[in-house]
Amino acid sequence: MSFDVDLFVIGGGSGGVRAARIAAGEHGARVALAEADRMGGTCVIRGCVPKKLMVFAADLPHRVAEGQAYGWQRATTGPFDWPAFRARLDRELARLEAAYRSGLTGAGVEVLDTRATVLDPHRVRLADGHEVTAAHILIATGGRPDLPKVAREAGCWSSDDIFNLPELPQTMLIVGGGFIACEMACIMAGLGVRVTLLYRGPQVLRGFDNEARALVAASMVRQGIDIRTATDLTGIERLAEGWRVVLTDGRTETYGGVLCATGRRPNSHGLGLEELGVAFGPTGGIAVDEWSQTTVPSIFAVGDVTGRIALTPVAIRDGHSFADTVFGARPRPVDHELVASAVFTRPELGTVGLTEEEARARGPVEVYATTFRPMRTAFIGSEERVLMKLSVDPESRRVLGCQIVAPEAGELIQLAAVAIKMGATKEDFDRTVAVHPTMAEELVTMRRPVR
């Protein structure tokens, strides 16, 4: 059977773009890609990139305050100019979007700025009714914010909306306790917004190491963030001046902005896949095997839409491996074990491998951990503390997991992840000579387990 293209990709985010570019540019496949929104997907337009730039902006007042304490008496900051920052941010995102698009067209990919749905295992329909046949179809539609019904009906903001605000409110309620909620709380507090964070659970950052999340939460409180755990919304009303919320503890309060960061779901439905018998996982992700293949052999899926690990580098690796396997005669599944990640709070939390709690659930474990005031801020009297932590299998001596809570922890955990991915033992860490004076030297100087 003759097809219009060898590969049709639905979704122009990190995973879909990488798959299309490698399939066409390196392996000579005929590729078309459809994207109904801006090219670049969540990471470039609504996630990692704008968020990290906001992290940089929010951190500067703290750096200036440190400078004053170190003797730079003329170091000052004025009010934050959100419109000026947002204009520069918009220009940067437009530049990145153009780079993504030129990378695709330069590789020979046909880019279609439209919505596409799947009609059958080898046929796709565009929004204008035009149909395209393809030997293979790749779903790379990412994820979407999951707002409670009460918040959605009241017009509360999602994480997709936060970068497009015309102005910053004076006060903000953030609903949720995951990494997006905590990151946004630190960002907004750093930009001068009075932040209240509402979470129905007992502690923020559920799923992360308990010792690490407790240290991050304590730091957030010191930054002036009002964290209220075991509390939820029971009602919310849109007013001219903001939102009036009713809480489970009986309080009624008004905020200039309400951000619901209550999780994200795979953007997997409404694509025509259910009608074809494509299987889905319990969270709505498209079920795939180790080769990113669905239950329909000609249809594949990569990235957040699969409900595996919702991280941009994972989506990129998924897409690249798919293209090499299907079009490059180099079959290789993606290794989803020991994937490092970082939470860009203040301070940051970097993690790879098992948490202490996960390690203990599997069997005996030795825990090496230290918390201390780092030199840079201890010198000026700050109470901020950092954490370096290793969980070790007492029999094999392999390091099972590492957590770092510290400034630039995302940079540090990337390097630790290389060693742990290679199977490093505690003795390998011990044999490594420390770099002094640094925070990270503690990773190779902890001699006795604390638990």
Q: Cis peptide leading into 364, omega within 30 of 0?
A: no
Mean per-residue pLDDT, 284-301: 98
Q: Does domain 149-262 have CATH number 2.60.40.2470?
A: no
Contacts of 202 (CB under 8 A, 6+ apart): 229, 230
CATH class for the region spanning 341-444: alpha beta
Convert the pLDDT of each residue in 1-55 to its tens digit.
Answer: 799 999 999 999 999 999 999 999 999 999 999 999 999 999 999 999 999 999 9
Residue-wise pLDDT for 433-448, tens only, equals 999 999 999 999 999 9
Task: Evaluate if residue 376 carries a pLDDT over 90.
Answer: yes
Give the pTM. Answer: 0.95
Residues 325 and 317: beta-carbon distance below 8 Å: no
Q: Return d(Cα 311, Cα 316) in angstroms, integer.
A: 9
**140 has a pLDDT exceeding 90:** yes
Which pLDDT does position 1 carry in this prediction?
76
pLDDT at 41: 94
- Please report, for residues 33, 152, 182, 318, the alpha-carbon distance to residue 219 in angstroms, rounded to integers and kept in the order given: 44, 30, 11, 35
The single residue of 27, 122, 136, 436 carrying the catalytic annotation is 436
User: Which helix (H) or strand (E) element contains residue 414?
Assistant: helix 409-421
| Backbone conformation region of residue 401, classed left if phi is above 0, alpha if psi is from -120 to 50, else beta | beta
User: How high is the pLDDT of residue 433?
Assistant: 98
Dihedral over Cα of 422, 427, 431, 434: its sign:
positive
Round the average pLDDT of the chain to a whole number and report it. Answer: 96
Per-residue pLDDT band for 294 (boundaries 50, 70, 90) equals very high
**By the 8 A CB rule, do 270 and 141 touch?**
no
Query: H/E element holding 406?
Result: strand 399-406
- The encoded tokens of residue 132 equal 């395209």
- Provide DSSP, 175-221: E--SHHHHHHHHHHHHTT-EEEEE-SSSSSSTTS-HHHHHHHHHHHH
Q: How confident is the model at residue 74 (pLDDT cuts 50, 70, 90)?
A: confident
> How do residues 216-226 score in pLDDT, each as one tens digit?
999 999 999 99
Tens of pLDDT, residues 89-108: 999 999 999 999 999 999 99
The domains of the chain are located at 5-144+265-327, 149-262, 341-444
The residues near 129 (Cβ < 8 Å, ≥ 6 apart) are none
Is residue 103 within a helix (H) or strand (E), and if so which, with residue range?
helix 82-106
Query: Which of 10, 33, 15, 12 has its CA nearest to residue 311?
Result: 15
Q: Which CATH superfamily is domain 5-144+265-327 in?
A: FAD/NAD(P)-binding domain (3.50.50.60)
62 classed as catalytic: no
pLDDT at residue 75, as a whole number: 85
CATH topology of 149-262 equal to that of 341-444?
A: no
